[in-house]
Chain A
C-alpha cells in the first residue's frame, strides 16, 4: 500500500479545456479517497494521470515519495477499474483475471490459486469459464474488480465503476466495494459524479470544478462545513436566502434581508465578513423542525405550504415566506396540505453562511 501525492498537477486539453489546474494533494495510505464533481471537472483525468494513462503538462506524481511522473503505466502497479469495465471479450473470466498474473510470470499453480481466491472474494466462483458477454452488468463489474485486485496493486483506481448499473445494484455494490477495501486495506481512489455515492463510500472527498479542487475533507466536513458556495450547492438540496451582514460574533453571523433576519455560522474562517457585506444563508431541508412558536423567535420562519410531496421517510414541502420560499423536510406523520399555515425552526449551528462573492480567497 502506498501514499499517493500529487504536486502542482496541471493538464490542459487542446489548449483550452483545463482538466487540472495546479492540483496538489496527498492521499493517505489505506485511505478511500474520492474525486467528486460534475462532468468535465477533470476528475477522470486526475485518475488517469495517477494510472499513467495521461501525462500531466506540469507537476509530479509520487507514490511513497518516489517520483513516478515519467513511469509508463505498465510499471506503476496500479489496479484500475474502468467505467465500461474494459473486459476483454475474447477471453474468459478466468483468462481476464489471470492476464496480469501471467505478465508477472507466476507459476500456473500460483495463478490458479490466486484467481480462485479473488473469485471467492468477489463472489464469482463457478463463473470462471464464462465469457464477459455471458455475464450480467453486476457480474462484469465484479470481474473487472477482481482483475484489478488480483495483482495486489499498490493503489486501486475506480473510474465511475457503478455508473452503468441500475439503482438497486449500485447501492449494493457500493457497500460491497467499501467492505472489500476495508478488508484489504488498500489505498483506493474513486471517481464519481454521484454525491450520495461519494458520501457513503469515502473516507475523504475532493470536490472538483473546472480542474480545481474546491474542498477536500470528510463527507461530514464537505456537507456540513462547505468552504464555498459551489461545494454548498453541489452537495445535497438547499434553499438560498441572500442578505446583508447585520452583526458578527466570532463565526456567528446575523444576516438581514427585506422581511427578516437569519442567524447562522460562517463555515469558512478564511473569509472576513464585516457588517454591510453581502452574504448568503444556505438552508438544508432536513435542518427544520415544525414549531408552535411564531416568526418573531430567532430562526423561526412562518408561512404557508406552497407544495407538498410524500417521499417516504419524510415529507418534502415548500413553504412560501414573503418573497422567498424554502424547502423543508417534515416528519412523515406531520399533516401538511397546500395553503396550510406552518412555522419551522432551525438551529444556528445548522445554518451555513457564506459570502456572496468569494473570489478573494482563491
Chain B
C-alpha cells in the first residue's frame, strides 16, 4: 500500500469516521486502561514489578498448598447440616478466579452444547416451551438473581425445604456457599450464551455436509464427532470464550451471595476484591491501594489473551463461507417416546433451575418472601408501587434512562462509523480498528471503572469529567464504549448483507462518498441500526461494573444497577431487597420488549450476544 492509495482511500468521510472511532476508543477506553497499567508497574516513581511480586508471594492471592476441604458436616441446634464451600476449595484469590472461570466454561459447554443439539435436531412434545424458557436466564437481573439462589441454597432455603422438610429424601440440610456457589450461579446464568452460539452453529450447518457423511457410512456419535461438532466448533468456542471472560468479570454472583450469606469465600475472587477495595478507598484515589492495579492488569491480561486467541481461531476456521447458501430444510428428527422423555427431563432440569432466579425475582417482588422464610405467604403490590414512589428509586430509573439513551446515540455514531470503515474501506490498520472495536468485550468492566477513576480524577480534576463531580457523565461514555461491540456488530452484519455494488452504482451516477453513505448505505441498514441500538439501550441499563463503582463517588447520580447493588450488598433493610427485585422486573420487561421488537418488527435475528 503506497501513499497515493492511502490518499485515495482516505476521503473526507473516511477521515471523519476513523477519527470519531479512534478518538472515542482511545480517550474513553485505551487511555484509562493504559494509565492504570502504567500505575501497576510503577513503584515509588520507577518501573517495577513490585506489586506483582508481592501478589504472588501473598498466600491470600496464591495459596500454597491450596485448601481442598470442600465440605464439612455439622450438627447444630437446627439439625445436621452438610456445608459445601465454606472452608474450601480455596486456591487463593487469583487462582480461585481462574478456577471458577474454567469450571463455569466447562459446565456451560456441556449444558449448552447438549441442550443446543437437542433443540437443533429433534422434535418432541413441548419443544416450543423450552425454546422460550432456555432464554429466560439471559434476562439480566443484576444481583437479585444471585441473592435468590443464595436464599434457595441456604439452610432455611427452598432446596432444603423441598428435599429435607417436605420430601424427606435427605437426612440433613445442605448449605452451598463459597466458590461452588459462585460456579453454580454463574453456570446457570451464562450457559445460555454457549447454548445460543451452539444452536445457531448447528442450525447453520449445511445439511448436505452431514448427508454426505451418512452417505459414506458415518452415523450416530461418529457423525457428530467427525462432522457436526468440528463444523460447529468455531461458534461454540466463541461462546465458551465469552463465558470465561464474563465469569471472570462478574460481580453479580459475589455481591448477591454476600447479600444472602455475608462474608465468605465467594468474595475471594479478583473482580470482587477490586470492587471492594475500590469501594472502601472512596474519597481520594490515593487511598486505593496500588496492588489492585496489579490485580486488574492480571485480569486484563487473561481476558485479552483469551479474546485474541478466540478471535484468531474463529476467523481462521470460519466455515460458514464454505456453504453455497441456498435454502435447505433443516435436519430434524422426531424423537420416540423414550427419547422424548429423556430430552424433556434433561431440558426441564436445566431450564427450570436456570430460570428459577428470574422466576424468584418476580416472586420476591410480588410477595413477602424476603421475610417469610422458605415460602412466601402473602401477595403484595407494595414493592412495585415503590418504583413510582420512592424518590431515590425514581431518581435511579431516570438516571439510567438518561445515560443509556445518550450512550446509545453515541454508539450509533461510533458503531456506524466503525462498521462502515471496516466493511468498506481498504485502509491500512483496518484490522486493528476491527480489534479495537471488538476489544471492549474482553475488558472487564471493573477495570474500565478503575481506569476511569485513575485517569479522569488525575488528569481532569475539577473539570466536568472529574469522576468525583460527575460520575454520571463518565458512565455515559463507559456505556457507549463497553456496549459498542454489540451495536457495531449488528450494524456491521447489515453492511455485509448489502452488496458493495449498490454503493458503487451511486458513485458511478455522480454521488459523492458522503452522499452515497447517507442516501444509500444508511437507509439500507437502518433496521440493523435501530435494532442494534435498542438492544444496546437495554444492555446499557443493565451495565453493572462501572455503574456501581463510579456511582459510589456521587450516589445521587447512580443508575438502577447501583441502587440494586447497594440494597443487596447492604441487605440491611429487608424491604428494600424486594424493591430491588421490583427494579429487576422492570429491567426484564425492558429486555423482553426490546428483544421482541428487534426480532419480530425489525426481523433481526440478532442473538443476545453473538460475537
A residues with CB within 8 A of B: 51-53, 55, 72-80, 82-84, 86-90, 99-100, 103-104, 147-148, 151, 157
Contact = CB atoms under 8 A, between A and B. Distances in A.
Contact of A84 (B501, B509, B524): B501
Interface residues of B, number: 22
A90 B524 contact: yes
B524 A147 contact: no
Interface of B: 5, 8, 11, 499, 501-502, 504-513, 515-516, 519-520, 523-524
A82 B511 CA distance: 16
Contact of B510 (A55, A74, A82, A90): A74
Given A78-B508, A88-B520, A148-B509, 11 more contacts: A55-B5, A73-B507, A74-B507, A74-B509, A75-B510, A79-B508, A86-B505, A100-B510, A103-B509, A103-B510, A151-B510
B501 A99 contact: no
A79 B509 CA distance: 7
B499 A86 contact: yes
A157 B504 CA distance: 13
Interface class of chain B by DSSP: helix
B506 A99 contact: yes
A156 to B, nearest CB: 11
B501 A86 contact: yes
Nearest to B505: A86
Contacts of A83: 501
B509 A99 contact: yes
Contact of B509 (A52, A87, A147): A147
Contacts of B504: 51, 53, 73, 80, 82, 86
Contacts of A100: 509-511
A135 B524 CA distance: 19
Nearest to A55: B8
Contacts of A89: 524
18 contacts: A51-B508, A52-B507, A55-B5, A55-B8, A73-B504, A73-B508, A74-B508, A74-B512, A78-B508, A82-B504, A84-B499, A86-B501, A86-B502, A90-B524, A99-B506, A100-B511, A103-B509, A151-B510
A99 B502 contact: no
A96 to B, nearest CB: 9
Given A55-B8, A99-B511, A103-B510, A82 B524 contact: no
A72, A79, A99 pick with most chain B CB within 10 angstroms: A99
Nearest to B7: A70
A9 to B, nearest CB: 15
A80 B511 contact: no
A13 to B, nearest CB: 11
B603 to A, nearest CB: 14
B508 A53 contact: yes
Nearest to B499: A84
A15 B510 CA distance: 31
A79 B5 CA distance: 24
A103 B511 CA distance: 6
Contacts of A80: 504-505, 508
Nearest to B504: A53
Nearest to A53: B504
Closest A-B pairs by Cβ, 7 of them:
A100-B509, A86-B501, A86-B505, A73-B507, A80-B508, A82-B501, A103-B510
A80 B509 CA distance: 8
Contacts of B510: 74-75, 77, 100, 103-104, 151
Given A88-B524, A89-B524, A90-B523, A82 B509 contact: no
Contacts of A103: 509-511, 515
